[in-house]
Amino acid sequence: MKTQFSPKGLLILIFTAIAMNCSFVFNVAAKERPSISRQSGIASVSVPQIKTIGIIGGVSWVSSLEYYRLMNQMVRDKLGGLNSAQILMYSIEFGEFSKEERLAEKGDWRPLRKIMIDAAQRLKNGGADFIVIASNTMNSSAEDIQDNVKIPVLHIADATGRKIKEKGLNSIVLLGTKYTMENNFYRDRLEKNYGLKVILPNQAERNYINSVIFDELCAEKINRESRDHFIYIINRLLKESRAEGVILGCTEIPLLVKQEDVSVPVFDTTAIHAEAAVKYSLGEK
């Protein structure tokens, strides 16, 4: 006996079969793709949680460029493929800032602190999970930022101190701006927290290093004569103090001095700081 369907019944049967088949295909496919959630009517793909790096850059832009390059290369090497770092950068206009920075060495750092706190707040508002200050000198404002903006700041001296101790060293030469070399925020942190003996150039050498940083390196000028003089200063300090390594404690100095130029371990603070930020971003210890 043949079963007969009315046109309406036949359409219902066809649509039911199509719906059941689509449901089966959807359920199979769902197992093969990332889960999708909907919030406020917007679809979002569930991915592993990665913290967004907030970089205060532009102090100077020359070293900020290195931070950006290194962070992206490190994430690519860790995760493979086309993966890159999740970064927000606020680049401070360095012209007036550099003038204020030189004046601040004589006493009043409040105008610069205000600029740094404002930059950090902008990054936090933009979605940064933590802050990296792309300057050794301006890491002197790390505590002010944490107190005022309430966001973690990865201190460059801590990243550097840990790396030196991993190498088992106890005495270290520190090169940087005059403020970094002569004030307590950097040297004391290395000595008290990491048990390091920090050795500095003499006054004339500190003045020379500072002028090269601001007048040449921050302007993207790499001079062989300056490199040779830096290496002379380093070798003198190594010979007289028997230091075991050298901190390139200005994020522009690694553009001038390389590991192959020096006989002891060289600590490139730009690379060390970038590595610490990537590890923190990816949830590594």
Give CA–CA dist 264/173, Å, rounded. 10
User: How much is the pLDDT for 102?
Assistant: 66
Higher pLDDT: 19 or 251? It is 251
User: How much is the pLDDT for 248?
Assistant: 96
User: How much is the pLDDT for 89?
Assistant: 96
3-state percent helix, strand, coil for the chain, nearest multiple of 5: 60, 15, 30
Which fold does the domain 53-156+273-281 belong to in CATH? Rossmann fold (3.40.50)
What SS3 class is residue 87? strand
What SS3 class is residue 267? strand
Higher pLDDT: 33 or 201? It is 201
Reply yes or no on whether the pLDDT at 246 is more than 50: yes
User: How much is the pLDDT for 209?
Assistant: 96
Provide the edge-to-edge strand list for the sheet that holds 87-91: 87-91, 53-57, 130-133
What residue spans define the domains of the chain?
Answer: 7-45, 53-156+273-281, 161-268
In this prediction, residue 104 has a pLDDT band, given cuts at 50, 70 and 90, of low
> Is 161-268 in the same CATH topology as 53-156+273-281?
yes
Scanning 105-197, the segments in alpha helix (DSSP H) are 110-126, 142-149, 156-166, 178-182, 184-194
Give CA–CA dist 280/223, Å, rounded. 35
For residues 237-248, give the mean pLDDT.
95
Tokens 């931070």 locate to 67
User: How much is the pLDDT for 4?
Assistant: 53
User: How much is the pLDDT for 105?
Assistant: 66
CB-CB contact of 225 with 233 (8 Å): no
Higher pLDDT: 67 or 16? It is 67
What dotted CATH number matches 161-268? 3.40.50.1860
In this prediction, residue 189 has a pLDDT band, given cuts at 50, 70 and 90, of very high
Higher pLDDT: 165 or 284? It is 165
Higher pLDDT: 133 or 44? It is 133
What is the average pLDDT value for the chain, to the nearest integer? 84
Q: Is the pTM of this model over 0.85?
A: no
Nearest CA-CA partner of 133 in 124, 118, 121, 120:
120
User: How much is the pLDDT for 94?
Assistant: 79
User: How much is the pLDDT for 48?
Assistant: 56
Strands (E) located in 202-264: 246-248
pLDDT digits (tens, 9 = 90+) for 130-184: 999 999 989 999 999 999 999 999 999 999 999 999 999 999 999 999 989 998 8
Reply yes or no on whether the pLDDT at 20 is more than 70: no
Q: Are strands 87-91 and 266-268 parallel, antiparallel or unpaired?
A: unpaired
Reply yes or no on whether the pLDDT at 57 is more than 50: yes
Higher pLDDT: 47 or 206? It is 206
CA-based diameter of the chain, in Å? Answer: 110
User: How much is the pLDDT for 107?
Assistant: 67
pLDDT digits (tens, 9 = 90+) for 64-101: 999 999 999 999 999 998 999 999 999 998 787 777 76
Q: What percent of the chain has pLDDT over 70?
A: 81
CB-CB contact of 253 with 245 (8 Å): no
User: How much is the pLDDT for 96?
Assistant: 78
